Structure 1
Amino acid sequence: MFLLVFIALLVFVTVLGEPLKQKYEPVIKGPMIAGPPLPGQAMDSEAARDVSYSSAEDGKRVTVRGQNGLTDPSKDKPYVDHEILVQFSQQIGRDKIAGLLNGSGMYVAEVLNAANLCRVKIPDTLKVEDAVKMLKGIPEVKFSEPNFIVHTTAVPNDASFSSQWGLQNTGDNGGTVDADIDAPEAWDQATGSSSVIVALVDEGIDLAHPDLAGNIWVNPNEIPGNGVDDDGNGFIDDVNGWDFKHGDATVYDSAGEDRHGTEVAGIIGAEGNNSVGTAGICWHVRIMPVKFIASGSGTVANAILALNYAVSQGAKVINCSWGGTSYSAALESAFQSVLNAGILVVTSAGNSGKDTDTNAHYPSNYDLSNILSVAATDKNDNLSYFSNYGQTSVDLAAPGSSIYTTIPGGGYASFSGTSASTPFVTGAAALALSVTPGLSYSELKARILNAVDPIADLAAKTVSGGRLNLNNLISS
């Protein structure tokens, strides 16, 4: 009844020629990009799209919410049209939810988790911001927000850089000797284990790449191609993971859709010592492709489903080389569930060259103890020009400029961005777990941060003040 009255009032006022005053500004057109444009994408001025947030206090990450527990769908925050995300009370059933929406033209399109978080479709005639406001006064609604769009955090780089300086820097091509993570020294002690599962929540991965094929996760309880959900997990033929973007088991669709995921995968776990191409941080690992992004962008709703899948299928570490400046309570709740499962999440700090203590980037800014936020450094141990930073919101840095890695079709190319630095830390976490499998997420996080090389340029720009050192970590 509440919704019917609201809609009637909205229509009545509009007909009289006096549109209802909006609390929120109209949504802008075009994608929000966290840094320089991706290949083939145009972007408006970065300065014109900045979103200012209140500063972090007491060393906590920045979290910004609207009033009354609702996320503010203001301008500069792109989202999916004709739908919203709604967290209903866990004390009510699906029939009650349907009753609350009855007569409004809204309906539940998808239930995202067991806690009554739903993707709700709204009528084409209703604006997203109006739909969010309509639900504001309903006691059974904990929060409602747009289904925001997030983007990968890669920086395009066409340079032909043919050595993996981040693993071992010899000072060639203008680099600085030992401005690296000391990987060869670490590999004298450990090279990884196929028992460690890393979920790549991202684009898809080229499963046939000769440097990746042997390290792709295989669902042991699923029979390939029989059209049956053998393990009863709700996903048919999810032999190597799941594609939440397209809703199928094909986790690699094309070079155009899945380059970013393939690049990230190569940094984590390209097979080592196989006389082919490059070496990942972990020579032996199981990378689980959990696709929710294609061609650089994906939705919060699909990210939530992807995170749920990674947890349910046994991931020990989750890599998230993506993000945006829009706060999502729904996405934070999903990462809280990952925390409850005791899993470390490694996230990119973003590519806007900004201080995220005051200019938040999510998910890296969620104030959750299982999140590691990673900045990028160049081959001289300087903070990369594009990298975000933050004395309380960014934990450490890792190599992220001109990183040579795998690309679809069996090839290799340079890759830059905090998308590239993040998998260095993810791979390091996986390597540490191969040596000490019983580490909790908090112990693993502490070891990584305590093992960094102190770097002058990072002293006031990260929590640890340092850059990843793999040898120190494995020796600890």
Structure 2
Amino acid sequence: MFRGIISLVALPLVIVSGHANAQAVPKTWYQMDIAKDSFYGISLNKAYEFLRNSHKKPQPIIVAVLDSGIDTTHEDLRPVLWRNPKEIPGNGIDDDGNGYVDDVYGWNFLGNKDGRNIKKAADERARIFHRWKNQFADKILNPEEMTEKERDQFVLWKKALHELNFSAEEQTELMFVEVTTKALKKHDKILRQEMGCDEYNFEKLEKFQPLTRLGKEAKMGFLTCMKMIGLDAEEKNTVLLSQLEEYIDGKKSAFESKEKAPRDYRAEVIGDNYYNLADRFYGNGDVMGPNPDHGTHVSGLIAAQRNNGIGIDGVADNVRIMMLRVVPDGDEYDKDIALAIRYAVDNGAKVINMSFGKSFSPEKAWVDSAIRYAEMKDVLVLHSSGNEGVNTDEKEVYPNPWLKQWNTVAGNFITVGASSDPKISGSLTAEFSNYGKASVDVFAPGVKIYSTMPGGNKYGNQQGTSMSTPIVSGIAALLRSYYPGLSAKQVKNIIEKSVLVPESANLCFRPGAKADVVPFTSLSKTGGIVNAYNAIMAADQFNTANAGNVQPQPAVVKRNKLD
């Protein structure tokens, strides 16, 4: 799963090569214009200036966010939440007859009817390995005697087995992170006592003047680690320690998973027949869940209320966010993803944001069918490329637009990589971003991205392709709102054709290999960074050229049976 304020999957690399001494970065640099502000943002204010001057009136757009949850009480999000018009909150009745009781803001596919929720889940490779272990392990098998389905399962199982053979280097990396975390916790305990508070950030700690020798040592140790990791100056000690603990816990579970079957949280909490797609009316209406950090941040980037004088302005105005909780701490379940996409389509979403991903997808056919369904119903799907710093032309991530059963590529699917700015990281690329000349469509800002956070009207920075994707989703929503006659495929084409392509001489670091300098144009299909102003101008020109020939799409579609 692609998550986190820092790229913890590559934490040892980040610690070695961190760039904490970069200049102060404007909170909303990602919305800025390179010509006016000298930052490679998306030229958002310029886009709105054109829209204001053209006196265009936007139509409401529903954007479905498939994620970890959302803080429904947040000051900057509460006014932009989608509300099911046919559902009466809290009456325990399925008022609209769609099979989901009290789905007021969307649906939680990681819960059950008594209100409990899944927080953690094992990674997919471990689930796959133990699912077919008895069928394939320690047996002499002839692939030619297998059915096509059995061969596919065997190949998938062998791949999972291979990836569960962890190297000595990976074991050493975990040990290094554990030692670092142990030292940080020791420093943190001393600092909390001497500072008289439980939470502090880089700036507050730097200003603090310890009175004891232990306090001075703790301050120096904690600050040094924060600088090495490249943690943002406003991020809290609690966030750092939580992320480190999550990383360690996940790695330990992964290392143990070859010998020990992972705990089946799904069976304990949800209790559905997972392998039956028709068993789909599980879950509950709690779209916040136990861990809404990631989804709250993503949602704010798309649509935090604009021009209200607080917090941030989201990319798109006149948007309603529909939250579909499908992302646990761990790998997502294909069934939840497939059903959430269908829910979004059936309830009027025109844009779907998916800021997550994984390396295995055993029920990919279910997800593919849902993506195909979205394509047929004119819904645009956007997905993050991932944060491993790898070439996804060579290593697949899921979901993806290749629809095997139709032998085609989905025309409504955009895959997004993460860009940066040379003044932030010394490169146009985010060092963690996945890339691919054939598999990644566009790049968008994904480093030091400021947005909404849960737990009391908070705001903060996160980074990842998870942040890049909602920025593009916001542009897509903007286009569909102000130019409602555009189809999903036309919006995709406009976004891709209107990217800002850096000058050919503007080389950058290839993600995952800082010593390797490459042209930015070599890392994606378009070779560029999304640009809201360019996209609006292209949409306006297209709209003018096709006046009278483009019909608005319906806001709501009828539900369809599962394929």
Aligned with residue 530 of structure 2, among 451, 463, 468: 468
The amino acid that maps onto 2:28 is Q
The structural deviation recorded for 1:264 is 0.3
Contiguous gaps of at least 5 residues in structure 1: 1-32, 48-156
Query: Aligned residue for 2:391?
Result: 355
The structural deviation recorded for 1:471 is 0.5
- CA displacement, residues 91-127 of structure 1 (integer Å, 9 cap, x when unaligned): xxxxxxxxxxxxxxxxxxxxxxxxxxxxxxxxxxxxx
Partner of 1:454, secondary structure, is: coil
Give the TM-score normalised by the residue count of structure 2.
0.55
Output the CA distance in 2 between the equivalents of 1:171 and 1:384: 21
Query: Aligned residue for 1:401?
Result: 447
The amino acid that maps onto 2:392 is T
The structural deviation recorded for 1:199 is 0.4
Query: Aligned residue for 2:81?
Result: 216
The structural deviation recorded for 1:458 is 2.7
Partner of 2:316, secondary structure, is: coil
Output the CA distance in 2 between the equivalents of 1:361 and 1:347: 10
Contact 1:193 1:285 in 2 (8 A): no
- CA displacement, residues 190-244 of structure 1 (integer Å, 9 cap, x when unaligned): 4884610000011111111111111110111111111111111111111111101
Greater RCO between the two (CA within 8 Å, min separation 6)?
2
The structural deviation recorded for 1:379 is 2.2
Query: Aligned residue for 1:272?
Result: 306
Partner of 1:446, secondary structure, is: helix
- 1:445 to 2:487 alignment: no
Query: Aligned residue for 1:65?
Result: none
Query: Aligned residue for 1:429?
Result: 476
The structural deviation recorded for 1:298 is 2.4
Query: Aligned residue for 1:379?
Result: 421
- 1:236 to 2:282 alignment: no
Aligned with residue 301 of structure 1, among 335, 340, 353: 335
Pick closer, same or farther for the CA change 1:264–1:40 going to 2, 3 Å: closer
Output the CA distance in 1 between the equivalents of 2:104 and 2:378: 24
Q: How does 1:186-225 map to 2 (within 5 A)?
A: 186-190=47-51, 193=58, 195-225=60-90
Query: Aligned residue for 2:287?
Result: 251
Using the TM superposition, name which of 318-327 and 374-383 deviates more: 374-383
Q: Normalized per residue, which structure has more helix?
A: 2
Q: Normalized per residue, which structure has more strand?
A: 1
Using the TM superposition, name which of 388-397 and 221-230 deviates more: 221-230
Partner of 1:188, secondary structure, is: helix
The structural deviation recorded for 1:333 is 2.2
Output the CA distance in 2 between the equivalents of 1:376 and 1:43: 16
Contact 1:260 1:296 in 2 (8 A): no
Contact 1:161 1:414 in 2 (8 A): no
- CA displacement, residues 266-299 of structure 1 (integer Å, 9 cap, x when unaligned): 1000111100011110133111001111335421
Query: Aligned residue for 1:340?
Result: 376
The structural deviation recorded for 1:162 is 5.6
Aligned with residue 310 of structure 1, among 328, 344, 367: 344
Output the CA distance in 2 between the equivalents of 1:193 and 1:239: 24
Q: How does 1:127-142 map to 2 (within 5 A)?
A: none
Output the CA distance in 1 between the equivalents of 2:10 and 2:536: 44
Give the TM-score normalised by the residue count of structure 1.
0.64
Output the CA distance in 2 between the equivalents of 1:260 and 1:43: 16
The amino acid that maps onto 2:447 is S
Pick closer, same or farther for the CA change 1:296–1:437 going to 2, 3 Å: farther
Query: Aligned residue for 2:521?
Result: 459
Aligned with residue 413 of structure 1, among 456, 460, 482: 460
- CA displacement, residues 439-460 of structure 1 (integer Å, 9 cap, x when unaligned): 1111111111111101244311
Partner of 1:392, secondary structure, is: coil
Contact 2:4 2:463 in 1 (8 A): no
- 1:184 to 2:218 alignment: no
Identity %: 38
Runs of 4 or more off by more than 4 Å in structure 1?
37-47, 159-162, 169-172, 191-194
